[in-house]
Amino acid sequence: MLSLALRRLWYARKVAGSALQQAWESGISPAGTDWREVSFLVCDAEMSALDTSEGELLSLGWVVVERGAIALASARHYLLKARHSVGQSATIHQLRDCELREGISEDELLELFLAAATGKILVFHNASLDTAFLNQLTYRAFAAPLLMPTVDTLLLEEKVLRRSDTVIKPGDLRLQACRDRYNLPIYRAHNALLDALATAELLLAQAGHRSAKERFPLRNFF
């Protein structure tokens, strides 16, 4: 959390007066805060490739977790107007060029996303991938990375497995594989909103399993 605040200081002048600055000014919850007292924005993105130098962000979905529960009314899903054809990646995310031509602009998406993220901690499954593409958007708009406090359910699960001396095999940290260990149902993958909901359920299962309904400080998510 401290390093995040210091990195924000480095970009403070660049983001002055922007929506990103407003999101930063919402503050960061103290590390000792119980997780049920914190608001999370659980997100998932679909891209045309796994490398930012080769692909672009195509869609973004999110849902809020508050007071230890999923707020279904907060669920949102947006398609982004693509700069290039999705090509063969359509076989994975099922998004077609004709649909993406009707998508919203990067600026519109950032406005909606930052408004939703203000005052919340972001959650992703494999956060480094999603935030890399979101950083592309914020660099273009504000000349700065997103720099929001972020929880990664993949890394949380990896810590649990390593503490139990479990050998982690390829595929063991995929979203559905992690959900299977908590007996969560199977959802159709590669839809940003469905994957955000699936990640939110995983977050609740992970927190519930580790806290046993007792106080569970936010620091344990990082």
Domains and CATH numbers, the chain: 2-214 (3.30.420.10)
Note the pTM of the prediction, 2 decimals. Answer: 0.93
Q: Give residue-wise pLDDT tens across range 155-167.
A: 999 999 999 998 9
pLDDT surpasses 70 at 93: no
Percent of the chain with pLDDT over 90: 73
pLDDT at 89: 63
Pick from 23-32, 114-123, 130-139, 202-211: least confident: 23-32
Average pLDDT score over the chain: 91
| The pLDDT value given to residue 29 | 83
The strand ranges marked E within the chain are 40-47, 57-66, 69-79, 121-124, 150-152
Residue 63's contacts (CB-CB under 8 Å, 6 or more residues apart) are 41, 42, 70, 71, 72, 74, 75, 76, 193, 196, 197, 200
Q: In a 10 Å sphere around its CB, with 0-12 CB exposed, 13-18 middle and 19+ buried, how is residue 113 labelled?
A: buried
Q: Given this model, what pLDDT does residue 57 score?
A: 93
